[in-house]
Structure 1
Amino acid sequence: MRLRSLFLMAVLGATAFAQARANETLTVYTHPSFAAEWGPGPAVKAAFEQQCDCTLQYVVLDSGGDILQRLRLEGASSQADVVLGLDTATMETARQTGLLAPHQVSLAALELPVAWRDELFVPYDWGYFAFVYDTEQLPNPPTSLDELIGAPDDLKIIIQDPRTSTPGLGLLLWMRSVYGDQAGEKWQALKSKILTTTKSWSDGYFSLFMNGEAPMILSYSTSPAYHMAIDKTDRYQAAAFEEGHYLQVEVAALVASSRHKALARRFLAFMLTPEFQREIPLKNVMYPAIDLGDELPDVFDRLIQPSQTLYLDPATVAEHRKAWLEEWLEAMSR
């Protein structure tokens, strides 16, 4: 009788443990373009839940900058298990918070334009910042930053705020990597071409650019892939700039205060599998972080190929970011 009771207790305990694990909820802080119904988030959620026997929950914040700000404000009390949507311009600042933990994920499968051995951040996609233009409004776009800056003032562009938008910050770093200490002067010269500076990429792209408010917008070299594959149009293209294009690598990381670290690390490892990566090209409209072979859509063969990859070390960005933002603000206010 005693043995039977012990056996039943063991079975019930194992069942309760299994149910507890099955009921685990992994909370991922991310941004709208990932979690939207047209983004990779829904398919990623379905694929991961199918193999983890858990619930994947997204908390959607406005941008990568907002993800970092929310994490800093919440500190060790954050409900996040994973943050997804930081990038090479913000990750060093995130590292310095001390709120992240090593991912313990093999990075052997990565295919990036730069070497990657970081113990905190797992890349999930990458791309180049570029100015996308409407060929019907602007059949002959500028072919360099110099040409854009020196263009007549009736050429209007849309950019994003580097304080709130990762592409906006990307342009700040692009300008700095090309012009160095002359970046402030170049910003002043570019100012007259800027129709508006939006808080986020989506505010400018969908609400303004796609409605014909300006013929050119700061975006990505991969943006035309979506229009060619989904909209079936070649109307929107990226201008290839002679100086090269600035690289962005988007990353995710484990939050140190997570109560589901094993599950979070499993998700981070899942990001580097074909099940996750095949959702990236046409849903996040970026290059996948691993080699997808024949699964990479053919339209990616028709994208511009930068003559040079521009990239500043994340530690350098973290060190000078505040000063470079102040330089931009001063140029925009003159």
Structure 2
Amino acid sequence: MKPVLVSVLALTLPLTACSVVGERSDDSGQPAGAGGGTVVLVTHESFTLPKQVVRQFEEESGYDLETRAAGDAGTLTTKLVLTRDNPTGDVAFGVDNTFASRAVDEGVFAEHGVDLPAGAEDYTLEGEAADVLAPVDNGNVCVNIDKTWFEREDLAPPETLADLADGEYEGLFVTPSALSSSPGLAFLLATIAAYGEDWPGYWQELVDNDTLVLDGWEDAYFGEFTQGSEKGTRPIVLSYDSSPAFTIADDGTSTTSALLDTCFQQVEYAGVLEGAENPEGARALIEFLLSETVQRELPTSMFVFPVRDGVALPPAWAKHAEQPESPYRLDPAEIAANRDAWLEQWRDIVTR
């Protein structure tokens, strides 16, 4: 039975412009944005919030938000570094733990000075990065399986990274490229965290087991995955821990599941840009992103988990979007120091 696959596609959709405002006053006691003050948000294309939430924020403050969005987390980080001496905005959202060290080391961010809500401290970075980047959301990139396919074929599904290289699963796995896809890079980092210096050997085993590597997540999920496309032929795909919440069959069960021993944690941060024209507006926006109002909307708006404690998840998430207890992680500084070399080595293995 095919489920109704909804909303996951929006992970790849661009942001439409919106205006946002937060509670701030100047020395006169008037809202800081009352005279038309603007705070400029620089972000990635997957950032979006419901119109009613935007309206609520506008009613509570005088700040107008101008949003400038382009590319993914890597593109965003590169642009922030290149414009650090003349920032194109006041606040940035979307730099994640795979790129954070680069932005911090390049002096992109100033101290945010925002009090974090309970729970968010679990996702802070170490050292000076903790003072300049506030965690806003989290999620995990995980291998997903089509449960109905494995039941039909009477084949026990894989559970671990090692299983993916087993001959039983030859030709069944599809993953986006580490060169052109954020989840693809996260999966590469998961294998490096798991296998250390032996990761190239593991990837060679994946290649020898007929793993299919495509440019993007959408190509893999909606093109080759058996639960993403009727023409799909591969029942194992790289996706997210939240993906099973979007593959619900008529009987209320999910037709897919995430393999929780394969996951790499991703955390997205917000920070005040060094040299910002409106640092107070930037801080107000970060506080808003950490508010219960926005944190509650994150699963259905951006398909990520909140960092704030006590935020209720949508019913489908609470039932089907299970998070791993011990996801793979790497020190952001280690990622920054080795990313280019790892990617070059990975490309040589996959394309030879």
TM-score, normalisation: structure 2: 0.78
Distance 1:141 1:57, change over 3 A: farther
1:195 is matched by which residue type in structure 2?
Answer: L
Alignment pair present for 1:32 and 2:45 = yes
Counterpart residue number, 1:327: 345
Counterpart residue number, 1:288: 306
CA RMSD of aligned residues (A): 2.9
Contact 1:103 1:121 in 2 (8 A): yes
Q: Which residue of 146, 159, 165 maps to 1:143? A: 159
Distance 1:66 1:253, change over 3 A: same
In the TM superposition, what whole-angstrom CA distance separates every residue of 1:189-227 from its partner, at most 9, and x where no partner exists?
Answer: 11243323224x345434554224332321211222244
Counterpart residue number, 2:70: 61
SS across alignment from 1:32: coil
Contact 1:65 1:165 in 2 (8 A): no
Alignment pair present for 1:182 and 2:198 = yes
If each structure's helix is expressed as a fraction of its own residues, which one has the higher value? 1
Counterpart residue number, 2:3: none
Cα drift, residue 115 of structure 1: 5.7
CA distance in 2 between counterparts of 1:230 and 1:286 reads: 24
1:53-92 alignment to 2 at 5 Å?
53-92=62-101
CA distance in 2 between counterparts of 1:229 and 1:112 reads: 37
Distance 1:18 1:50, change over 3 A: closer
1:112-127 alignment to 2 at 5 Å?
118-127=130-139
Count of equivalent residues = 312
CA distance in 1 between counterparts of 2:75 and 2:106 reads: 15
1:167-316 alignment to 2 at 5 Å?
167-191=183-207, 192-199=209-216, 201-206=217-222, 209=225, 210-212=228-230, 213=232, 214-228=234-248, 234-241=254-261, 245-293=263-311, 295-298=312-315, 299-306=317-324, 308-316=326-334
Distance 1:80 1:205, change over 3 A: farther
CA distance in 1 between counterparts of 2:139 and 2:319 reads: 14
Cα drift, residue 131 of structure 1: 1.2
CA distance in 1 between counterparts of 2:182 and 2:56 reads: 27
Gaps of 5+ in 2: 1-27
TM-score, normalisation: structure 1: 0.82
SS across alignment from 1:270: helix
SS across alignment from 1:78: coil
Contact 2:117 2:308 in 1 (8 A): no
SS across alignment from 2:135: strand
In the TM superposition, what whole-angstrom CA distance separates every residue of 1:58-107 from its partner, at most 9, and x where no partner exists?
Answer: 22222111111222333333322222111111100111221211111112
SS across alignment from 1:33: coil
SS across alignment from 2:103: helix
In the TM superposition, what whole-angstrom CA distance separates every residue of 1:101-129 from its partner, at most 9, and x where no partner exists?
Answer: 11111124234655656011111111222
Q: Which residue of 166, 171, 182 maps to 1:155? A: 171
CA distance in 2 between counterparts of 1:143 and 1:93 reads: 33
Distance 1:153 1:110, change over 3 A: closer
Contact 1:132 1:236 in 2 (8 A): yes
Contact 1:160 1:197 in 2 (8 A): yes
Contact 1:29 1:83 in 2 (8 A): yes
Distance 1:115 1:268, change over 3 A: closer
CA distance in 2 between counterparts of 1:41 and 1:175 reads: 36
Gaps of 5+ in 1: 1-13
Distance 1:71 1:43, change over 3 A: farther
Contact 2:242 2:304 in 1 (8 A): yes
Cα drift, residue 229 of structure 1: 10
1:147 is matched by which residue type in structure 2?
Answer: D
Cα drift, residue 21 of structure 1: 4.3
Contact 1:245 1:309 in 2 (8 A): yes
CA distance in 1 between counterparts of 2:51 and 2:219 reads: 22
Cα drift, residue 237 of structure 1: 2.0
